[in-house]
Amino acid sequence: MSIKKENAPEPLARIPGSIHFIMSKILYFGLSCKAYLRTFGNQSPDVQLCCENCGRLLHKHGRYWRGIVTKHEVIQIPIYRRYCPTCRITISLLPEFLIPWARYATWVREAALKRKHKGFSWRQTTESTTTPAVRYSRRTLKRWWARHLRRAADAALWVAGKLVAQGDDTDMLHLYPTMMNPTPRSKANENRLQNCFKNRLDGKLPS
């Protein structure tokens, strides 16, 4: 029922000066902020979760308010928490439209990436996905885009490895995503892909 985001900040973090830990779980609580507020504005979600470390049922542990940026405004929503008294771990229950440490709603980020895929300029993308009152910078958009390309590259590597393992000898290197600004990391990924093809074809890796 929980989802771990790729390349997200470390989910388990220690609060300085204590032996208390915090982490997050992303659950389906509704597709929009307003729908979430209507349902959970004044009451905690009726979900039962067990600690992944000891298996004990987690206790309700209050809530805190967090601002989330949508296309037009910043909306304050309550984030409910659960607590394991045995492991001393607090878990924040995040709605699916919000990921750890992100200010903008997931659909805003996804809309921006879709427009970039369609060939929109940086300026056109930022202006078409948010209003001036809550607009993100081009630098922020470029960071989202670079992260997206890195994840696409990793996904392409995984898929290519599976296809080659199943006997597909098509040259898929030209399908490998090109990074916005080639970096040593993107070159390393390209070398990994080439080595993966070679090792799969040579029968050095298990299927």
Q: Which of 105, 136, 160 is the last residue of a domain?
A: 105
101 located within any domain: yes
5 located within any domain: no
- Do residues 151 and 117 share a domain? yes
pTM score, whole prediction:
0.64
- Do residues 175 and 191 share a domain? yes
User: Which two three-digit tokens encode residue 111?
Assistant: 């809309």
- Do residues 69 and 128 share a domain? no
- Do residues 63 and 132 share a domain? no
Residues contacting 128, CB < 8 A, separation 6+: 115, 120
- Do residues 20 and 84 share a domain? yes
Domain holding 167, by residue range, is: 107-201
Report the C-alpha gap between 93 and 2 in whole angstroms. Answer: 9
Q: With contact defined as beta carbons under 8 Å apart, do 69 and 105 qualify?
A: yes
- Do residues 114 and 150 share a domain? yes
- Do residues 156 and 95 share a domain? no
Report the C-alpha gap between 127 and 54 in whole angstroms. Answer: 48
Instruction: Count other Cβ atoms within 10 Å, centred on residue 189.
Output: 19
pLDDT tens digits in sequence order for the chain, 207 residues long: 333 333 333 434 443 333 445 588 888 887 788 889 989 999 999 888 999 889 999 999 999 999 999 999 999 999 999 999 999 999 999 998 988 888 999 999 999 999 998 999 999 999 999 999 999 999 999 999 998 888 887 777 777 777 777 776 666 555 555 544 444 445 565 566 556 555 554 554 444
**Total number of domains constituting the chain:** 2
- Do residues 75 and 146 share a domain? no
Task: Extract long-range pairs of 117-123: CB within 8 Å, 24+ residues apart.
Answer: none
- Do residues 50 and 125 share a domain? no
